[in-house]
């Protein structure tokens, strides 16, 4: 009978409306989280920038004893890889783009006979339910419940897992694959080499230029990987960069490098040993903060799109429902009119008899 | 008026001090050091202790005899870098003297000393078990400084409490 179609449509509209309420709420929550995450990045940036500068000063002075910290042009045989994704989904392509970039780095590394030690942050990369399980990747350690609001304590739990093997000589390179928060509008997946420091011994300013050129011309040892990955990633708009630290340096506002004679207290080798763990923590902390802000941004965007789609869906379903109702009414009128006509004709016939 | 130079005291969470100062006194691995304007470039460690930043009060523009202030900061270890009249102190954990809860610091000191006394001579093996694996931090995250203090051994906690009390000017 009439109305069946209409009832089904009404129920669907209600269900879409309910979903829309949820996506809209998630959008608002994410928006407020973005604001907080941005504030935390702003608050942490002076520390991270200054730490990076200090690290470069000391590593440069320590020279020989800094050894493996500075890029010596040696092939990286055993690399530590830090992959940062979210704990939860519903944030568009956020998780997938990071994991894909990481997978490429690992595949390219393996093709050159490199061993990897993989540390992940975020449930979506984890063994039991994540992407890497599907790809049968071995994860050396995975952290969860960090990316929502990363703290410095989180960073100091993650950093040693990569740094200690590096100091012990079990690793000779450390990479980070994560989403960088460039601005409210731009977040990019980046593969960065954290160690060895990609630094060339030249005057400040020129260094930045040189770093970039090196990565383009493929003279630095690992940039073969980078280029391969860039070529693959190009289509998806993913940026793969080797020179994260150098570009960080250029971004930091203050004073630049030290000139001439610099005192070190204690002497630079000992200082380096003390500084390195803090530096690694700062880098990981920055990475986590930016990933967190990017995640919330991605989620807000995805949920805004979902809400919009739901609105449209409701509109088109309402249209279909209205037509169905109209059809049902028309049919009913026709039936009534037809029935009345039949009765009238029957009445006329009876009278004529 | 003394020559001024720019001083920043920075932690991962926030910038505690950013402004012009005439003297900064802090403790490095090799002894106390005072920085004045035009200090030779230096990079060094900062030992746990009180960093004293001598600077002018907010009235330095209007007043002929501007107020001289000392900002004291409890720094629980860090690094200092100075170059071109710009000094940066980086610390993982640091607090302004004005923000230190003296009572809490004193309680922490007592607790740490009790723990040290309780341990006696026996090197405790249970201590290493305190920092839990991932996922547990939601529980401990209540009070920033307290959580940090509870994470490692009582000796470090005692040192932190002492530094806090010294910065806050509380008698020991």
Per-residue pLDDT for B140 more than 60? no
A353 in a structural domain = no
Contact B43 A265 (CB under 8 A): yes
Per-residue pLDDT for B134 more than 80? no
Task: Specify the pLDDT at position B121.
Answer: 46
Let me know whether A143 and A239 are in one domain. yes
Task: Specify the pLDDT at position A172.
Answer: 86
Let me know whether A291 and A313 are in one domain. no
Length of chain A: 353
What's the CATH code of the domain at A331?
Answer: 1.10.287
Residues of chain A above pLDDT 70, percent:
75
Nearest Cα neighbor of A292 from A58, A57, A12, A91 is A91
Structural domain that includes position A12: 4-23+305-347
Let me know whether A255 and A316 are in one domain. no
Contact A264 B8 (CB under 8 A): no
From the list A144, A258, A263, the residue facing B134 with the nearest CB is A144
Using a 10 angstrom Cβ sphere, with 0-12 exposed, 13-18 middle and 19 or more buried, the burial of residue B7 is buried
Q: Which of A277, A299, A321 is the last residue of a domain?
A: A299
User: C-alpha dihedral over A218, A220, A222, A223, to 10 degrees?
Assistant: -30
d(CA A328, CA A6) in angstroms, rounded, equals 9
d(CA A233, CA A239) in angstroms, rounded, equals 7
Task: Specify the pLDDT at position A349.
Answer: 66
E strand or H helix at B7 = strand B5-10
Let me know whether A321 and A174 are in one domain. no
Let me know whether A233 and A322 are in one domain. no
Which of A158 and A196 is assigned the larger pLDDT?
Answer: A158
Domains of chain B, first to last? 5-97 (2.60.15.10), 101-168 (no CATH)
Residue that the structure tokens 């000017």 belong to = B169
Let me know whether A132 and A146 are in one domain. yes
Let me know whether A268 and A324 are in one domain. no
A145 in a structural domain = yes
Token pair listed for A17: 């409306």
> What pTM does this model have?
0.77
Task: Specify the pLDDT at position A323.
Answer: 92
Which of A153 and A348 is assigned the larger pLDDT?
Answer: A153
Contact B43 A268 (CB under 8 A): yes
Is the separation of the CB atoms in A194 and A166 below 8 Å? Answer: no
- What distance in Å separates residue A226's CA from the closest CA in chain B? 30
Task: Specify the pLDDT at position B166.
Answer: 83
Task: Specify the pLDDT at position A127.
Answer: 57
Task: Specify the pLDDT at position B123.
Answer: 46
Per-residue pLDDT for A283 more than 90? yes
Q: How many separate domains does chain A show?
A: 2
- Per-residue pLDDT tens for A103-157? 889 889 889 988 888 898 988 887 555 666 656 677 788 888 888 889 999 999 9
Task: Specify the pLDDT at position B119.
Answer: 62
Let me know whether A108 and A189 are in one domain. yes
Per-residue pLDDT for B148 more than 50? no
Residues of chain A above pLDDT 90, percent:
40
Task: Specify the pLDDT at position A152.
Answer: 92
Per-residue pLDDT for B57 more than 80? no
- Per-residue pLDDT tens for A193-232? 888 876 544 334 333 333 333 333 333 333 333 333 333 3
Indicate the range of A162-171, A255-264, A315-324 predicted with least confidence.
A255-264
Q: What's phi and psi for A190, nearest 5 deg? A: -130, 140
Per-residue pLDDT for A246 more than 60? no
Chain B from 124 to 143: CB within 8 A of any A CB: 131, 134-135, 137-138, 141
- Per-residue pLDDT tens for B81-126? 998 889 999 999 898 888 888 888 888 888 888 888 876 544 444 4
Return the residue of A nearest to B147 by Cα.
A153
Token pair listed for A135: 């790809």
User: Which of B7, B10, B11, B12 should be substituted to probe chain A, the one whose Cβ sees the most A Cβ atoms within 10 Å?
Assistant: B12
Task: Specify the pLDDT at position A317.
Answer: 94
What's the CATH code of the domain at A196?
Answer: 3.40.1380.10
d(CA A289, CA A294) in angstroms, rounded, equals 9
CB contacts of A266 in chain B (<8 Å) are 29-30, 44-45
Which of A244 and A92 is assigned the larger pLDDT?
Answer: A92
Per-residue pLDDT for A1 more than 50? no
Report the SS3 class of residue A54.
helix
From the list A57, A266, A281, the residue facing B81 with the nearest CB is A57
Per-residue pLDDT for A77 more than 90? no
pLDDT confidence of A64, banded at 50, 70, 90?
A: low
A352 in a structural domain = no
d(CA A269, CA A251) in angstroms, rounded, equals 27
d(CA A170, CA A172) in angstroms, rounded, equals 7
Let me know whether A106 and A212 are in one domain. yes
pLDDT confidence of A353, banded at 50, 70, 90?
A: low
Token pair listed for B150: 């509870």
A282 in a structural domain = yes
């Amino acid at each position: 009978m009439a109305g069946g179609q209409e009832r089904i449509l009404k129920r669907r509209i209600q269900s879409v409306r309910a979903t829309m309420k949820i996506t809209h709420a998630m959008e608002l929550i994410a928006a407020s989280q973005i604001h907080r995450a941005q504030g935390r990045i702003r608050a942490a940036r002076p520390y991270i920038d200054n730490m990076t500068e200090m690290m470069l000063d000391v590593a440069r002075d320590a020279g020989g004893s800094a050894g493996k910290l500075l890029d010596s042009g040696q092939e990286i045989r055993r690399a530590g890889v830090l992959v940062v994704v979210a704990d939860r989904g519903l944030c568009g392509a956020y998780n997938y783009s990071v994991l894909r970039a990481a997978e490429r780095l690992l595949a390219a590394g393996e093709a050159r006979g490199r061993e990897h030690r993989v540390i992940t942050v975020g449930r979506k990369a984890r063994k039991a339910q994540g992407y890497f399980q599907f790809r049968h990747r071995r994860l050396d350690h995975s952290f969860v419940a960090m990316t929502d609001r990363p703290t410095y304590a989180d960073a100091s739990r993650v950093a040693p897992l990569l740094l200690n093997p590096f100091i012990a000589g079990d690793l000779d390179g450390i990479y980070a694959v994560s989403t960088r928060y460039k601005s409210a509008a731009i977040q990019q997946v980046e593969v960065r080499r954290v160690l060895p420091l990609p630094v060339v011994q030249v005057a400040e300013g020129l260094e930045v230029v040189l770093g970039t050129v090196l990565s383009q011309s493929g003279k630095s040892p690992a940039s073969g990987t980078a280029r391969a990955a860039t070529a693959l990633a190009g289509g998806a708009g993913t940026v793969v960069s080797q020179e994260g630290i150098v570009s960080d340096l250029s971004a930091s506002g203050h004073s630049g490098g030290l000139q001439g004679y610099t005192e070190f207290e204690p002497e630079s080798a000992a200082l380096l040993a003390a500084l390195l763990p803090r530096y690694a923590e700062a880098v990981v902390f920055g990475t986590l903060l930016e990933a967190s802000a990017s995640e919330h941004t991605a989620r807000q965007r995805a949920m805004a799109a979902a809400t919009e789609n739901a609105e449209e869906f409701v509109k088109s379903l309402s249209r279909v429902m209205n037509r169905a109702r109209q059809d049902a009414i028309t049919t009913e009128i026709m039936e009534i009119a037809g029935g009345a006509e039949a009765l009238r004709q029957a009445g006329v016939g009876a009278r004529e008899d | 008026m003394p020559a001024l130079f720019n001083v920043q005291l920075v932690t991962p969470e926030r910038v505690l001090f950013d402004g012009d100062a005439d003297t900064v006194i802090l403790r490095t691995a090799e002894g106390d050091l005072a920085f004045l304007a035009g200090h030779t470039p230096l990079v060094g460690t900062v030992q746990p202790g009180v960093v004293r930043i001598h600077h002018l009060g907010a009235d330095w523009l209007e007043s002929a005899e501007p107020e001289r202030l000392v900002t004291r900061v409890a720094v629980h270890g860090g690094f200092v870098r100075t170059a071109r009249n710009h000094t940066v102190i980086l610390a993982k954990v640091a607090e302004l003297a004005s923000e230190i809860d003296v009572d809490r610091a004193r309680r922490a000191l007592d607790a740490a000393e009790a723990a040290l006394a309780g341990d006696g001579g026996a090197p405790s093996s249970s201590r290493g078990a305190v920092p839990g694996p991932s996922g547990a931090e939601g529980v401990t995250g209540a009070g920033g400084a307290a959580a940090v203090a509870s994470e490692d051994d009582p000796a470090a906690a005692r040192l932190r409490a002492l530094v806090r009390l010294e910065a806050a000017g509380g008698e020991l």
